[in-house]
């Protein structure tokens, strides 16, 4: 089944941005720090923060397929949208720089902050360093409408523009995580470990949807993947993830002589809403504890907006005994550590 997925993926144009598979590492330091609270669960991380380009992170996997598509269409400029501290925006700027394309970022005020850390540090600092033109929209502006206007202006000036979606989360972008599912399955075969759960943050849903689509295409249950939503509430994130998984499977099944795949049963798409907190981008005590816990037990850096909240969810579930003793659980570290510099005050004096 996974051979079918591998050849289905090869039919799509892809622009290489990774240096090969990212490592899977066991968190023995964390297990020791948790002690009895680990409840006999073995914890691992898939280091999707461990990539050489632009600080790394999950968006590079999506951008491999999005830029493949953009280059096939002859684009010379990529435009994308996001919040001010978007990791997707930063990595689009890095990928465009690598591909020799111009990049414009249309960034809105999703999080109600106007302090210097948020506006100038973290991803914003790196966006400009990477040569992107940054459009910093006022509060209340519609980022997609502004981006479409900018695309029209650039096209009128003779540019060939590719508009990358919010978070890279279209079926084409999600192919990057279908490919990652395959990578995880191959690594788990080599390690001799059968992960009972693969845990990840959910923002625009493409990472979860891609992993779930990859599992289904490989003949495995989508319910192996569990996400913690950080952006939408659980019901909205669930619907979006179900729909995007189905659309990614449809895309994978297009073409002559290719296997087709049934959409996921909604109950197999596991989205947990317990860690989002009051709103997207607003720190929670559990996120701060999770970021500190992994930093101090393993020397690994989570981000405060996505993976910090998802890891808090994993820790809560492990402590509550939700994973069977002796099971192997994989957390996908999705990058975003530059965001820590925009959240300095959340971690001050702790």
Ligand X SMILES: Cc1ncc(COP(=O)(O)O)c(C=O)c1O
Would you call 86 a catalytic residue per the annotation? Answer: yes
What is the nearest approach in angstroms of ligand X to the Cβ of residue 332? 8
Closest to 39 in 3D by CA, of 257, 342, 321 = 321
Residue number with CB closer to ligand X (306 or 341): 306
Residue number with CB closer to ligand X (68 or 206): 206
CA distance 167 to 177: 13
Binding-site member from 38, 334, 341, 342 for ligand X (CB under 6 A): 334
CA distance 346 to 334: 20
CB 251 within 8 A of CB 172: yes
* Residue 123 in the binding site for ligand X (CB under 6 A): no
- Candidate segments 16-24, 92-100, 271-279, 329-337, binder of ligand X by CB under 6 A: 329-337
DSSP state of 316: H
Residues 188-227 close enough to bind ligand X by CB under 6 A: 201-207
Q: Which residues contact 45 (CB under 8 A, 6 or more apart)?
A: 24, 25, 27, 300, 330, 331, 332, 333
Report the sign of the C-alpha dihedral through residues 194, 199, 200, 206, in that order: positive
* Residue 92 in the binding site for ligand X (CB under 6 A): no
CB 85 within 8 A of CB 118: yes
Binding-site member from 169, 245, 248, 275 for ligand X (CB under 6 A): 169
CB 270 within 8 A of CB 276: no
What is the nearest approach in angstroms of ligand X to the Cβ of residue 77? 22
* Residue 336 in the binding site for ligand X (CB under 6 A): yes
SS3 (DSSP) at 271:
strand
Closest to 337 in 3D by CA, of 122, 177, 134 = 122
Of the listed 2, 6, 52, 86, which one is catalytic?
86
CA distance 273 to 279: 11
CA distance 87 to 73: 25
Instruction: Print the binding letters for residues 273-312 with ligand X: x by CB under 6 A, - otherwise.
Output: ------------------------------x--xx-----
Residues 139-168 close enough to bind ligand X by CB under 6 A: 167
Residue number with CB closer to ligand X (9 or 209): 209
What is the nearest approach in angstroms of ligand X to the Cβ of residue 304? 10
* Residue 270 in the binding site for ligand X (CB under 6 A): no
Residue number with CB closer to ligand X (87 or 248): 87
CB 311 within 8 A of CB 290: yes
Residue number with CB closer to ligand X (101 or 201): 201
Catalytic residue numbers read 86
Q: Which residues bind ligand X (CB under 6 A)?
A: 57-58, 87-88, 167, 169, 201-207, 303, 306-307, 334-336
């Amino acid at each position: 089944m996974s051979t079918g997925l591998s050849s289905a993926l090869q039919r799509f144009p892809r622009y290489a941005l990774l240096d090969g598979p990212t490592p899977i590492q066991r968190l023995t330091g964390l297990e020791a720090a948790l002690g009895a609270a680990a409840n006999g669960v073995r914890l691992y991380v898939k280091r999707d923060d461990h990539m050489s380009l632009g600080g790394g992170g999950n968006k590079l996997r999506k951008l491999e397929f999005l830029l493949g598509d953009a280059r096939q269409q002859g684009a010379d400029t990529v435009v994308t949208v996001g919040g001010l501290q978007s990791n997707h925006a930063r990595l689009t700027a890095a990928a465009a720089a690598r591909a020799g394309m111009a990049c414009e970022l249309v960034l809105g005020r999703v999080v109600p902050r106007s302090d210097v850390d948020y506006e100038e540090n973290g991803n914003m600092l790196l966006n400009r360093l990477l040569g992107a033109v940054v459009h910093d929209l006022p509060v209340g502006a519609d980022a997609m409408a502004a981006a479409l206007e900018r695309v029209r202006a650039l096209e009128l000036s003779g540019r060939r523009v590719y508009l990358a979606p919010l978070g890279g989360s279209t079926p084409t972008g999600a192919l990057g995580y279908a490919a990652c599912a395959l990578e995880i399955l191959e690594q788990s075969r080599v390690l001799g470990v059968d992960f009972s759960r693969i845990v990840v943050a959910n923002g625009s849903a493409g990472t979860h949807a891609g992993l779930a689509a990859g599992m289904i295409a490989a003949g495995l249950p989508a319910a192996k993947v569990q996400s913690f939503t950080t952006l939408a509430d659980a019901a909205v994130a669930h619907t979006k993830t179900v729909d995007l998984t189905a659309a990614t499977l449809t895309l994978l099944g297009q073409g002559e002589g290719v296997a087709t795949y049934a959409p996921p049963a909604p109950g197999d798409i596991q989205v947990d809403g317990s860690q989002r907190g009051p709103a997207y981008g607003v720190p929670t005590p559990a996120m701060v504890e999770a970021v500190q816990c992994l930093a101090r037990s393993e020397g690994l850096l989570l981000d405060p907006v996505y993976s910090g909240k998802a890891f808090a969810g994993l820790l809560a579930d492990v402590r509550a005994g939700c994973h069977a003793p002796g099971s192997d659980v994989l957390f996908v570290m999705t990058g975003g550590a530059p965001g820590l510099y925009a959240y300095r005050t959340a971690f001050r004096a702790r």
